[in-house]
Amino acid sequence: MEPLYEWVIASARTMFALQGLKFSMWGREYVPREGGAVMAINHTGYLDFTYAGYATLPTRRVVRFMAKESVFRNPVAGPMMRGMGHIPVDRSQGAGSFREAVQALRAGEIVGVYPEATISRSFELKEFKTGAARMARDAGVPILPTVIVGAQRVWTKDRPRRLGRTNTPIYVEVNPPMQVPEGADVRVATDRLRAVMAESLDRMWAKYPTMHGADLVYLPARLGGLAPTPEQAARMDKAERQRRARKRGTPAEHG
């Protein structure tokens, strides 16, 4: 393991301990000990990539995450991101990011991606982009469908950060590798990936400790929580895109 990444992992573990996070993990045995794989992760919080990466530690492997290009321009985070081999994503020029990810996969790396692209305000699965399936197909590697529950309780959109000692349960499940054969229809493969992750998400919520009171804002509406419904969340996402577009003076992005 590279020294920088090892230091970052040690720092993250210290932070997790100080926060009192209570990890429960399933399916770590599905993380390959060698060879490339696309780790497809649901996206409910700003720190869920750290929890997904935690799942690979028994194999002494690290994940190269695809992240917004703007993060790499940060004078502090940028050098660290590049030093850890993460992959910048420029949405206006996605082909370059895609090629870099496929090259990393062919070189035997695990590449972490968010098929939903942006954080889900409803904490349900949004519609998936086809990038994860295309990368797996083109690189000839499997997808590791990975689901996290609890990340939204630490730091998510529209809610204050809770980085103190919250003792929050964090559940992570890595599902069996999913193959995307050469010539496969990536839309069909993406629908299959989403179905696998939806089943996994239901399993995780069935096991997850009951939430009460103020914490109900982190529970999906269909489970009796106070989080926005997927329809409400979609309207909030649209309004956010429009605000950003007005600020940039460009047309609003879709998705």
pTM of the model: 0.94
What radius of gyration do the chain's Cα atoms show?
A: 18
**Amino acid identity, residue 63?**
V
Q: Per residue in 186-226, pLDDT tens?
A: 999 999 999 999 999 999 999 999 999 999 999 999 999 99
Nearest one of 134, 122, 109 to 59, comparing CA atoms? 109
Q: Per residue in 119-132, pLDDT tens?
A: 999 999 999 999 99
Neighbours of 142 (CB within 10 A): 18
SS3 content of the chain, % helix, strand, coil (to 5): 45, 15, 40
Nearest one of 221, 189, 29, 39 to 120, comparing CA atoms? 221
Residue 123, token pair as written in the block: 């904490």
**Amino acid identity, residue 240?**
E
Q: What whole-number distance in Å separates Cα of residue 216 and Cα of residue 214?
A: 5
